[in-house]
Amino acid sequence: MGLLLLFNAFNGLIQGAFYALMALGLALILGLNNTINFAQGAFMALAAYFAFTLTPYVGFWGGLIIAPLLAGALGLAIETSLIRRLYNRKDPIYTLLLTFGLAFIMQDMIRTIWGAQGKPLEIPQFLNQPLSSTYFFLTGYRLFVVGVALVGTAALFGVLRFTRIGIRIRAGNSDLETISALGVNIYLLRSANFVIGIVFAGVAGILAAGQLGLNPNMGDALIMPAFVAIVVGGVGSLVGSLLGGLIIGLASGITTAFYPAASEVVIYIIMGVMLVVRPRGLMGQEGLFE
């Protein structure tokens, strides 16, 4: 039982790392682009398929770097041609439905180009070995996933803290009008922010595909938990989203050990309890986006 619990907890933590990566990308876009990006899951799948096609030419590592950037480029095209038109419509419903429709189209395109069947994504041999015979579930790949999530998160927070664009993104999150009045090009800033959010989704997608394989709907399973992570962590706080992702991943993993059927529902229960006890979430700001 002890080992099983440990196994499931570890599994949950990895799951939580995916949730956190997804939640960070979503939270960035929610903050500055004021958009609930329903296409985040589709971008994730798309990056994974890009990596699948690129791997034979540039290897896994090349794919891991190039594919998210390609997804980001597509994100840029969509942001500038479509989403940007909707920023001055106050009602959030329009961006929400737009990205929802885009997700449909992207999923359908993936199915048409690569087929509906699942595919494996080749990962380097050495990452596939278990590191210990007792703790058989500690494969190199799983640790690698956690490592990339950590590095990616650290890089994001570094960018937000220390670079000019990062500082502007954070300022824009709390008061867009003021930084606009200070002469910052908001359109450019929002585009950059959107691309960063999509690149995050892309990395998460490739990592997930390395473990679970590829299929056109692979993003669907991660986007809802990512929403929950944001609500639990608190809208407006990236650290909160990160923590929220890890917490619900862990909770889901531990629940699997005791009562597998409830492993998905448990995260919604956590969210419900959080909303009743502390409506603004773990680290959320009062009144943001309301």
Partner 1 sequence: MSTDLATETARTAPQARTGMSRRTIGNVVLGVVLLTVPLWLPLVGGYTDLASRVLIYALAAMGLNLLLGFTGGLSFGHAAYFGLGAYGVGLMLKYETHSLFLALGVGTLVGGLAATLLGPIAVRRRGIYFSMITIAIGQMFYFIAIRWNTLTGGYDGLSGFARPKFAGPGHLLSMGPTGMYYLVLAAFAIAALLLWIVLNAPLGHAFVAIRENHKRLTFLGVSTQRYIAISFAISGFIAALAGGLNALLDGFASPNLLNYSMSGDFLIIAVLGGMRNFYGPLAGAVIFVLVRDYVSSVTDNWMSVIGLVFVVSVIFFPMGVLGFFNRKSGS
The contact set with partner 1 (CB under 8 A) reads 30, 34, 36, 38, 82, 85-86, 89, 91-94, 96-98, 100-109, 111-112, 224, 227-228, 230-231, 235, 261-262, 264-265, 268-269, 271-272, 275-276, 279, 288-290
Closest by CA position to 35, among listed 1, 72, 85: 85
Q: ∠ CA 97-100-103 to the nearest 5 degrees?
A: 155
- Tell me the three-class secondary structure of 228-248, residue by residue: HHHHHHCCCCHHHHHHHHHHH
Whole-angstrom distance, CA of residue 33 vs CA of residue 90: 12
- Residue 58 or 221 with smaller CB distance to partner 1: 221
Closest by CA position to 142, among listed 249, 271, 290: 249
- Residue 84 or 170 with smaller CB distance to partner 1: 84
Please, are residues 208 and 102 in contact by the beta-carbon 8 Å criterion? no
- Residue 22 or 102 with smaller CB distance to partner 1: 102
- Residue 122 or 264 with smaller CB distance to partner 1: 264
- For residue 13 the two structure tokens come to 């933590």
Question: Minimum Å distance from CB 55 to partner 1?
Answer: 27
- Residue 188 or 269 with smaller CB distance to partner 1: 269
Question: Minimum Å distance from CB 175 to partner 1?
Answer: 16
Whole-angstrom distance, CA of residue 186 vs CA of residue 240: 25
Question: Minimum Å distance from CB 227 to partner 1?
Answer: 5
- Residue 6 or 288 with smaller CB distance to partner 1: 288
Question: Minimum Å distance from CB 12 to partner 1?
Answer: 16
Question: Minimum Å distance from CB 105 to partner 1?
Answer: 4
Closest by CA position to 176, among listed 288, 9, 97, 17: 288
- For residue 4 the two structure tokens come to 């099983």
Please, are residues 262 and 32 in contact by the beta-carbon 8 Å criterion? no
Whole-angstrom distance, CA of residue 277 vs CA of residue 243: 17
- Residue 35 or 191 with smaller CB distance to partner 1: 35
Q: How buried is residue 57: exposed, middle or buried, by Cβ count under 10 Å (0-12/13-18/19+)?
A: exposed
Question: Minimum Å distance from CB 106 to partner 1?
Answer: 8
Question: Minimum Å distance from CB 116 to partner 1?
Answer: 10
Question: Minimum Å distance from CB 252 to partner 1?
Answer: 11
- Residue 8 or 55 with smaller CB distance to partner 1: 8
Whole-angstrom distance, CA of residue 110 vs CA of residue 274: 37
Whole-angstrom distance, CA of residue 21 vs CA of residue 241: 9
